[in-house]
Amino acid sequence: MDNSNAGSERVRQELTEIIALLAEHTGLVSRWSGRVVLELEADFKGRKPFNCDIILDAALVTEETRWSTLIHEGLHTLSAGYIGVDYRDFRGYEEGVVERLQRLLRPWVLERLGVVVPAESFLPDEEKHRYNVYIAALEEICRALAVEETPAARETFYRDLLAIPIRSRSVYLLGLGFRLPEEKRKDFLVTYSAANAVLTRSRA
């Protein structure tokens, strides 16, 4: 087996273990095809096409920070309503949810796998991550909904969103806002409107 095949098989096994843990933890069913494709000199770290393969930058498989990408792509396989048109229209509602949940669940996943990577190793990528704009918008909605600022409460919030079809996530959050006391509803709607513009295709 050449190094490329060995790397592909190793990362496929890592993904298998990660996705099994995530499925058990969330109660969601993975649609991963079981195939991993390593792309040389890719301009991305990871992708999950709608055929449910997982494509990774070949250079990533030897990096200790690969775990964040593997967990992120693993969460995509569990995401409800992951179809092309809905993803394009509501990209931020998928990528923001998945990346925020990845960061919340990563310490637990690595502990379960017996993998030790210093938390600070992931910070350089996270500080400049292209999905930070989506996470910031979702966090604004969290605050407007008075979701507790604890890891457990935030995990529940994002895990619930992952289980809702992508196209329905914006309506779901708007519905939560309308349940707020009347005196808080107006401020929520202002926040939601600005955040939704970031999270939908018009700003993707």
Banded pLDDT at 4 (limits 50, 70, 90): low
Q: 119-136 pLDDT, tens per residue?
A: 999 999 999 999 999 999
With a threshold of 0.85, does the pTM exceed it? yes
Residue 107 confidence (pLDDT) above 80: yes
Mean pLDDT of the chain: 92
Domain boundaries, the chain: 3-203
Give the length of the chain: 204
Residue of 82, 17, 13, 81 whose CA lies nearest to 47: 82
Q: Per residue in 11-38, pLDDT tens?
A: 999 999 999 999 999 999 999 999 998 9
Q: Is the pLDDT confidence value at 204 over 70?
A: no
Find the range with the poorest average confidence among 79-88, 130-139, 144-153, 166-175.
Answer: 79-88
Measured distance CA(102)–CA(92) in Å, rounded:
15
Rounded to an integer, the average pLDDT of 164-182 is: 96
Q: Name 24's Cβ contacts closer than 8 Å, sequence gap at least 6.
A: none
Strand extents, DSSP E, the chain: 36-39, 46-47, 54-57
What's residue 203's pLDDT? 41
pLDDT at 47: 82
Res 69: pLDDT = 95
54 strand-pairing partners: 36
CA distance 126 to 19: 22
pLDDT band, very low/low/confident/very high, at 194 (cuts 50, 70, 90) = very high
Q: Give the residue-averaged pLDDT of 94-99.
A: 97
